[in-house]
Structure 1
Amino acid sequence: MVAVFNKELLSWYLITLKLRETLESGIPSSSPNSGTRSIELPQQQHQQKLQRAPSESYQVLLNQESENLQEETNSAASEWVISIKEKLEEACQDDVASSWTKLSIYKIPHYLRDSSGGDKTYAPQIVSLGPYHHGKKRLRQMECHKWRSINRVLKRTKHDISLYLNAMKEMEERARSCYEEIIISLSSNEFVEMLVLDGCFVLELFRGATEGFKELGYSRNDPVFAMRGSMHSIQRDMIMLENQLPLFILNRLLEIQLDKPDLEGLVAALALRFFDPLLPTDEPLSKSGRNKCESSFRTSTKSDTFDPLSDKGGLHCLDVFRRSLLQTGPQLTPRMWIKRRSNAHRVADKRRQQLIHCVTELREAGIKFKKRKTDRFWDIKFQDGILRIPRLLIHDGTKSLFLNLIAFEQCHLDCNNDITSYVIFMDNLINSREDVGYLHYCGIIEHWLGSDAEVADLFNRLCQEVVFDINNSYLSPLSESVNRYYNHRWNTWCASLRHNYFSNPWAIISLVAAVVLLLLTFAQTYYSIYGYYRSAQ
């Protein structure tokens, strides 16, 4: 019994030890006095993990954001490079596809438009021609009259509209190349329709001015197709640089209307007849010239066609009008690109555009002004102290006319600067209303404006921002001669004597009396001294 009892105790003792070892194996070993610390240690480790967790997660986020930012930067740089390459390819295509030598109808440069003091100088107010102002709201009223004109043409010629459309379709690419801007606002059909509509409208006006609108079938009370009412405003709009159609388009349409080919030059002749009222001179187109123009249109043959510019090939109506003004004028070498880009010859400062002194200063130097009898308003002469200037007529359309002519000379490289030279020369002469008044007294300037001050202001504003080369002006030699005469002191003294003592009869009598009195005083003094010495001897 004892042995069994001891065996059972031994079993319980062993089981107890095993249980103790099992329990102690789940608790970390520590010193005998670290019972409390064995409980606190897991809590401290948890707190340390909580403290380390934010910093580790923040670092992970930073790494992710940095990687994302790097990817976005690389993507943006790649897109930027791609966009630059696309622009270079587009520029290369434009450079290859564009022919700069064909440009003839330009947009007005912003520096000229801003200096003109308003948009009415360069933008049409009644009728639009070409794509630059096509479809503008204020110009839509004239569209119905354009359709009336083409309807009249079709009835008169018995033609089908497709004949004109097909002809313009063949010339579309050539016509588009004449404009400075790429016309993306008009589709191919819309552009061709515009050429036919605007071209026939222009030809009806040209033919009506020569043949008579009544002969073309229009009523004498027609609001547009009659030489009255708004015709002057229409002429002024049609001479603007941005409002032009290529001359070869008008030539082709007229050939179709008359059923005769090779009518080169006839449109130019009709244009000169139509724009005759805009000439800056009171000498209109001669009667013989009108008769010749009318007979040339009636015969409509190449041999009889009147075209003073046939050897030069006009680009558009503004170019034809300018060539007619200067057709017997000075011929200078056309400007080359390198010459235009040269800083040594570019003069934009108005103070450095001084060709000549003003009228008042020249008069003080003894220079006289006389009217030169010629219809070539630009043909100025100077000889023996006399400046002979042709008569210039100034009306309400003169400002717009000169500014558009100047803009064309500024934009077109194969064009001299004769009109610009003349305007700057007159700007130098005119500084005040007194200068205008004296030129008007001499018969050189005739104007329909309100006052002489308005004329002076007109010339002083015409060339404010114009790039001009004094050395490339046909008036430079004349200006040098005038300046040499002005700088000669003897001429100034003589002029001062005439101005102060010979300006009127009373001044001459006073001068003669003063001279006689001086001589008598000198004689009296002489004889008094002579008598004194003689008596002393």
Structure 2
Amino acid sequence: MTISESRSWRRKAIKYVFFVPAKGRQADGSRSSSFDFKAETAAREEEEKMSLLDKISSIPKSDWLINIQEKLDQVPPLEGSSSWLNNCIFRVPENLREIEPKAYIPQVVSIGPYHRGKACLKFMERHKWRLLRHVIERTGHSLELYLEAMAELEEKTRRCYANSTKVSNSREFIEMMLLDACFILELLRVSVKGFIYCGYSWGDPIFTCRGVLPSIQRDLLKLENQLPLFVLDRLFSLTCEADETITVTNLALQFFESVGCEKIDHSLAHANEPGLHFLHVVRQSLLPSPKATFGCAPIMIDHQAQLMMHCVSSLKDSGVKFRKKKSEKFMDIEFKNGFLYIPPLVIHDSTKAIFLNLMVFEQCYPHCSNHVTSYISFMDGLINCPRDVGHLRFQGIIDHGLGSEEEVAGLFNKLCKEIAFDINDCYLSGVSAEVNKYFDRRWHTWRATLKHEYFSNPWAILSLLAAILLIFLTLAQTFYTVLAYHFPS
């Protein structure tokens, strides 16, 4: 660049800075309040927007609109009688299934359409036919009577499943309903009245073979392996004896008592809310008493967020004491005057699978509370290590048949994985807030430390008393020495 060109560019720059008001300075030389970078950015965004609109406008509108309209036509209308709101038997979400797949998949028998036809479950299918023939012979009713009763409930039954397309054929679906319902009802009858009374032999491969019946019980409490309760009620009315007054719900509660579901509340057999299926019935029987849930679900007003719970070891150091509460409901947790009262919980090999299926049901079904999830989340906060489990076991709160306390701690720490939990809707939020409030008071921690360090055994108490006496004597000697110095005799 020559000297003349350099001077020309310099003059242009000076003119741009000092004499152009719209480019950063006003006409009087003061700076503009809005620098032109913003205007340039807005202009650039406007150009990009116009460019995008030009691209969209260049697409043939007829083909585009037809494509979108076809997609809209494929969306089914939301009708109250046939929508997803009526679903109560769900597929387990993949993110939950991947963590513990065996907890949700039946191992012995398939109930409903989700696992029907699997090779590993075909062994029990022939026994379903055998039990159906036994029922027809015992009752004397025709097969057509049972098929007609099931056919009347087909559409209502299909709406209970989130996805029943696997058994799309109507005849196959009705056949499945009859076989599964008959199989379940015979299991319930035999468990209450005995297989001899029900007409089965000592060598029956289902009712007398060890290990088969417990496995069937576990399969019947899996979310994907359910049959609507109204189907069982309808078939039970056709197969029960004339003088029988017991209900299917009563039979189910007695049937599942041996699976590790704690002491089941049979009064819920007459509850106002009808059971949907076996998993729902068992969940209803395990819910805490109305006193423990007063003011909580389903009302969402005045809820307190459930704060993160401290573990047992930390709470012990702050002075919180754990005591076993005398209650048949293991969810009836209470905190009062520094004592956390927790009902006993017995943990079996099947406890993990039952809790997982109950929690997934609460995740998928919108018309129920999250009490089971809240309880598991609360216990997960209390238990961080085997030492926490050991203290709860020493207090009689936890009793388990697993290999070690470490397995119990791992069980609770894994149960809430991938579970969406609303802390604003929890029946234990008040208990958590009271415990944390007690924990935050330093006086409780100091008192607990003093008691632990100096009052844990008799020798420590004697040492402390001796130290206090020595201090008192030293102070007395000092006092008399000073007194004798100022007031000599």
User: Would you say 1:481 and 2:434 are equivalent positions?
Assistant: yes
Higher alpha-carbon deviation: 429-438 or 230-239: 230-239
User: Would you say 1:92 and 2:76 are equivalent positions?
Assistant: yes
SS at match of 1:120: helix
The one-letter code matched in structure 1 to 2:429 is S
User: Would you say 1:423 and 2:376 are equivalent positions?
Assistant: yes
**How far 1:227 moved relative to its partner?**
8.0
Instruction: Provide the rounded CA distance (Å) in 1 between the counterparts of 2:326 and 2:258.
Output: 19
The one-letter code matched in structure 1 to 2:329 is R
Q: Hey, what does 2:258 align to over in structure 1?
A: 277
Higher alpha-carbon deviation: 421-430 or 97-106: 97-106
The one-letter code matched in structure 2 to 1:106 is F
User: Would you say 1:108 and 2:92 are equivalent positions?
Assistant: yes
Q: Deviations over 1:39-72 (max 9, x none)?
A: xxxxxxxxxxxxxxxxxxxxxxxxxxxxxxxxxx
Q: Deviations over 1:352-385 (max 9, x none)?
A: 9744211111111111111011111000111111
Using a 3 Å threshold, how does the CA distance of structure 1 residues 444 and 310 change in structure 2: closer, same or farther?
closer
Using a 3 Å threshold, how does the CA distance of structure 1 residues 100 and 186 change in structure 2: closer, same or farther?
closer
* Paired residues of 1:334 and 1:416 also in contact (CA < 8 A): yes
Structure with higher Rg: it is 1
Using a 3 Å threshold, how does the CA distance of structure 1 residues 253 and 95 change in structure 2: closer, same or farther?
same
Using a 3 Å threshold, how does the CA distance of structure 1 residues 384 and 332 change in structure 2: closer, same or farther?
closer
Using a 3 Å threshold, how does the CA distance of structure 1 residues 147 and 391 change in structure 2: closer, same or farther?
same
Residue correspondences, number: 428
User: Would you say 1:312 and 2:293 are equivalent positions?
Assistant: no
Q: Hey, what does 1:36 align to over in structure 2?
A: none
* Paired residues of 2:82 and 2:159 also in contact (CA < 8 A): yes
User: Would you say 1:370 and 2:319 are equivalent positions?
Assistant: no
Q: Hey, what does 2:20 align to over in structure 1?
A: none
Aligned pairs for 1:25-424 (under 5 A) are 82=66, 84-93=68-77, 98-114=82-98, 117-226=99-208, 228-258=210-240, 266-281=247-262, 283=263, 308-326=269-287, 328-329=289-290, 330=293, 354-424=307-377
Runs of at least 5 residues in structure 2 that lack an aligned partner in the other structure: 1-57
- Cα RMSD over matched residues? 2.7
Instruction: Provide the rounded CA distance (Å) in 2 between the counterparts of 1:214 and 1:128.
Output: 26
Instruction: Provide the rounded CA distance (Å) in 1 between the counterparts of 2:243 and 2:237.
Output: 5
Q: Deviations over 1:6-48 (max 9, x none)?
A: xxxxxxxxxxxxxxxxxxxxxxxxxxxxxxxxxxxxxxxxxxx
Higher alpha-carbon deviation: 93-102 or 136-145: 93-102
Instruction: Provide the rounded CA distance (Å) in 1 between the counterparts of 2:476 and 2:433.
Output: 48
Higher helix share: 1
Instruction: Provide the rounded CA distance (Å) in 2 between the counterparts of 1:136 and 1:415.
Output: 31
The one-letter code matched in structure 1 to 2:275 is G
**Aligned pair partner of 1:500 in 428, 448, 453:** 453
* Paired residues of 2:92 and 2:224 also in contact (CA < 8 A): yes
Using a 3 Å threshold, how does the CA distance of structure 1 residues 96 and 284 change in structure 2: closer, same or farther?
closer
TM-score, normalising length from structure 1? 0.74
Q: Hey, what does 1:509 align to over in structure 2?
A: 462
Q: Hey, what does 2:387 align to over in structure 1?
A: 434
Q: Deviations over 1:472-518 (max 9, x none)?
A: 11111111111111111111111111011111111111111111121
Using a 3 Å threshold, how does the CA distance of structure 1 residues 370 and 456 change in structure 2: closer, same or farther?
same
Instruction: Provide the rounded CA distance (Å) in 2 between the counterparts of 1:170 and 1:334.
Output: 35
* Paired residues of 1:365 and 1:491 also in contact (CA < 8 A): yes
Instruction: Provide the rounded CA distance (Å) in 1 between the counterparts of 2:294 and 2:352.
Output: 25
Runs of at least 5 residues in structure 1 that lack an aligned partner in the other structure: 1-72, 290-305, 340-344, 346-351
The one-letter code matched in structure 2 to 1:102 is N
Work out the percentage of aligned pairs sharing the same amino acid: 48
Q: Hey, what does 2:410 align to over in structure 1?
A: 457
* Paired residues of 2:150 and 2:231 also in contact (CA < 8 A): yes
SS at match of 1:314: coil
